[in-house]
Amino acid sequence: MEGWQRAFVLHGRPYSETSLMLDLFTEGQGRVRILAKGARGRRSNLKGCLQPFTPLLVRWSGRGEVKTLRNAEPVSLALPLSGLMLYSGLYVNELVSRVLEQEANYSSLFFDYLNCLQNLAGASGSPEYALRQFELSLLHHLGYGVDFLHCAGSGEEVSDNMTYRYREEKGFIASLVIDNSSFTGRDLKALASREFPDLSTLRAAKRFTRMALKPYLGGKPLKSRELFRQFQVKRPVLPSDNSSR
C-alpha cells in the first residue's frame, strides 16, 4: 500500500515473542489485519501507540490476507475512555471486528466511528445515545434497508400513537400486539432521524438495534457484553445505564 492512512486498532494480540497481530479499522480500506513485527520488542517505539482508541497514521505492505506494518505514528494521545465508557468503546470495537468484511471501503463509517469514540470520551453520563447512533449508522453501511416512516403493510405514513410490530426482512406492520418487537410511530420516527428525545425512544432504539444486529453476529456471544456484566457486578447500577450494551 502506498501512502498513509488514518486508522484505529480494534484488537491486538501477541504474535511470536516480539510481534503483534492487529485488526485495524482504516479510513480507506476498512478492516485490515496487520502483522506488526518487533512491536513488542524492548526497543520498539511502537509499543505504546498500537493500542485501541489511539488515532493513528499507518502504512503497510503485502497482498495476502495478513499485511505487514511498515510505519505507524500516533496522531494524538489516546481518547480518554475509562469505566463504563471504556467498556462501551470495547463493545463498538467488537461490533466492527465482527460484522465488517475485510478490506472493504467504509470511509463514511470510519468517521461515524471516530465521532462515537469522541462522544464517549466526552460523555459525563450514559453512553446510550452515542452507542445507538453508531449502531444505526453501522446497519446503514451494512446495507440494512428498513423504512421506519411507512407501514410495510399499507404503505401509509406511521402515526405517533399507533403500534407497529417489526418483522425481519419486511419492516414495520401496524399491530395491536404489544411485545418486545412492538414500537410506536414516535419510536420509529426517532429511529429514522437517529435522534432520541427521551428515555423511552432511547430504549426502543436499543431493542431495535439488538434485533437487527443479531443476524450479523450469529450465535456467538459478544465478549465485551460479558466483560461489561462483570464490571456491573462491581459497581452500583444506575437507572440510566441499565444493561447498556
List the 163-167 sheet strands across, edge first: 171-174, 163-167, 182-184
Question: Contact at 8 Å (CB) between 211 and 166?
Answer: yes
Statement to judge: residues 97 and 182 lie in one domain = yes
Q: Per-residue confidence at 234, pLDDT binned at 50, 70, 90?
A: low
CB count within 10 Å of CB 98 equals 16
**Residue 147 grid cell:** 423504512
* pLDDT per position as a tens digit, 194-223: 999 999 999 999 999 999 999 898 878 788
**pLDDT of 87-125, one tens digit each?**
999 999 999 999 999 999 999 999 999 999 999 998 778
CA-to-CA distance for 197 and 190, rounded, in angstroms? 8
In a domain, 90, yes or no: yes
The mean of the pLDDT values for the chain is: 89
Sequential DSSP letters for 115-158: HHHHHHHH-SS-SHHHHHHHHHHHHHHTT----SSB-TTT-PBP
**Shared-domain flag, residues 60 and 178:** no
Determine phi and psi for 173, rounding to 5 degrees. Answer: -120, 135
Classify residue 231: in a domain, yes or no: no
Amino acid letter for position 104: A
Dihedral of CA 195/108/100/96: which sign?
A: negative
Residue 241, domain member (yes or no)? no
Residue after which a domain boundary falls, among 51, 74, 97: 74
Residues 208 and 90 in one domain: yes
Integer Rg of the chain from CA = 20
Mean pLDDT of 74-80: 91
Amino acid at 36: A
Residues 171 and 207 in one domain: yes
Q: Does pLDDT of 238 surpass 80?
A: no
How confident is the model over 14-64, as pLDDT tens digits?
A: 998 899 999 999 999 999 999 999 998 888 888 788 999 999 999 999 988
Q: Is 59 helix (H, G, I), strand (E, B) or coil?
A: strand
Residues 47 and 123 in one domain: no
The range of the structural domain enclosing residue 150 comes to 83-222
Q: How many domains does the chain have?
A: 2
Task: Note the pLDDT of residue 80.
Answer: 92
pLDDT at position 239 is 46
- Could you report the per-residue pLDDT of 134-170, keeping only the tens digit for each? 999 999 999 888 899 999 988 999 999 999 999 887 8
Q: Is residue 132 predicted with pLDDT exceeding 90?
A: yes
User: Does residue 144 share a domain with residue 33?
Assistant: no
Residue-level length of the chain: 245
Q: Counting runs of H as helices and runs of E as strands, what totals does the chain give?
A: 6, 8
Query: Which residues have C-beta within 8 Å of that of residue 102, sequence separation ≥ 6?
Result: 30, 31, 32, 33, 65
Query: pTM score, two decimals?
Result: 0.87
Is 233's pLDDT higher than 80?
no
